[in-house]
């Protein structure tokens, strides 16, 4: 099978100021209520590290993109971080809208400069909000692709939402057993899974956090964890 690769670079940077991040859009508010590498690669060069203050968080679109990816190809995203490297495979055959949305936003550098603004040990890590407060999105929503084909186990990547058919840009990666509670409420569209390097995601999930009064939980990273996504079509 012919493979089409698009490369994603995600860079974790330690910043000197605390940049807030909470998720207020309805999924997995704690670990109980409801609300995935190829061989090691070279570390990211210093000059490739992002500058979060240069990030334009106002980028928005009028409507969801048309699906242009193929269901006959395999899409692999190589993710490079300062914590290591991991790779994810898109579920473009079973979740074409979600997979296409991820490719579209990545190609438009929508995620560049965002943070893992919510991290919960043994549960999930969450990102994709340009406002870093759990309320941001791309300016459009798109329908759910449910029911999920897999259990919410470590490595599964799914969309965050605020109710039925409210998917936008925020997504989370399941890290451990506490996320099994999501299987009781499988309302989150799965569109990727980590296929190598899950230990890197675990490292992010285990980063020290502080109390988040808006969510009433300990989930705000003490030292912001930044991402940058660069896609090569």
Q: What is the pLDDT of residue 152?
A: 97
- In the three-class reduction of DSSP (H, G, I as helix; E, B as strand; rest coil), residue 9 is classed as strand
| Cα distance between residue 132 and residue 129, in whole Å | 5
Domain ranges of the chain: 3-39+67-221
**Model pLDDT for residues 123-141, shown as the tens digit of each residue:** 999 989 988 878 899 999 9
Residue reference for tokens 């190829």: 38
User: How far, in whole angstroms, is CA 78 from its chain's centroid?
Assistant: 14
Q: Which of 93, 15, 27, 4 is nearest to 55 (CA)?
A: 15
Please state the pTM of the whole predicted model: 0.78
Would you mind telling me the total number of residues written for the chain in this entry? 233
Q: Which residues of 11-37 are buried (b: 16+ CB within 10 A; e: fewer)?
A: bbbeeeeebebbbebbbbbbbeeebbb
Helices (H), the chain: 96-107, 198-205
Q: To the nearest whole percent, how much of the chain has pLDDT over 70?
A: 70
Q: Exposed (0-12), middle (13-18) or buried (19+): which is 180, by Cβ within 10 Å?
A: middle
**Model pLDDT for residues 6-35, shown as the tens digit of each residue:** 444 443 333 333 333 333 334 343 333 323
Residue reference for tokens 């991402």: 227
Tokens representing 144? Answer: 């759910």
| Cα distance between residue 19 and residue 29, in whole Å | 20
Q: Exposed (0-12), middle (13-18) or buried (19+): which is 122, by Cβ within 10 Å?
A: middle
Strand ranges inside 178-216, DSSP E: 190-196, 209-212
- Best CATH choice for the domain 3-39+67-221 from the list 3.30.460.80, 3.30.70.2470, 2.40.100.10, 2.40.110.10: 2.40.100.10
- Tens digit of pLDDT per residue, the chain (233 long)? 444 444 444 433 333 333 333 333 343 433 333 232 222 333 334 334 443 434 555 588 999 999 999 999 988 887 776 667 778 899 999 999 999 999 999 888 888 778 888 999 999 999 899 888 788 999 999 999 999 999 999 999 999 999 999 999 999 999 998 999 999 999 999 999 999 889 989 999 999 999 877 778 999 989 877 776 655 44
Contact 187, 153 (CB under 8 A): no
């Amino acid at each position: 099978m012919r493979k089409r690769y698009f490369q994603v670079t995600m860079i974790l940077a330690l910043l000197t100021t605390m940049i807030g991040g909470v998720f207020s859009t309805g999924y997995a508010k704690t670990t109980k209520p409801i609300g995935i590498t190829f061989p090691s690669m070279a570390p990211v060069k210093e000059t490739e590290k992002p500058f979060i203050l240069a990030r334009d968080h106002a980028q928005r679109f009028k409507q969801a993109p048309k699906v242009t990816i193929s269901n006959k190809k395999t899409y692999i995203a190589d993710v490079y971080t300062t914590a290591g490297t991991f790779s994810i495979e898109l579920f473009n055959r079973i979740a074409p809208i979600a997979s296409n949305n991820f490719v579209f936003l990545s190609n438009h550098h929508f995620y560049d400069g965002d943070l893992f603004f919510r991290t919960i040990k043994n549960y999930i890590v969450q990102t994709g909000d340009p406002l870093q407060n759990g309320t941001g999105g791309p300016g459009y929503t798109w329908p759910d692709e449910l029911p999920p084909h897999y259990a919410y186990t470590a490595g599964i990547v799914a969309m965050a939402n605020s109710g039925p058919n409210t998917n936008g840009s925020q997504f989370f990666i399941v890290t451990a057993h506490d996320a099994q509670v999501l299987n009781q409420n499988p309302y989150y569209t799965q569109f990727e899974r980590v296929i190598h390097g899950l230990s890197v995601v675990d490292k992010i999930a285990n980063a020290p956090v502080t109390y988040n009064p808006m969510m009433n939980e300990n989930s705000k990273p003490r030292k912001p964890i930044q991402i940058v996504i660069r896609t090569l079509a």
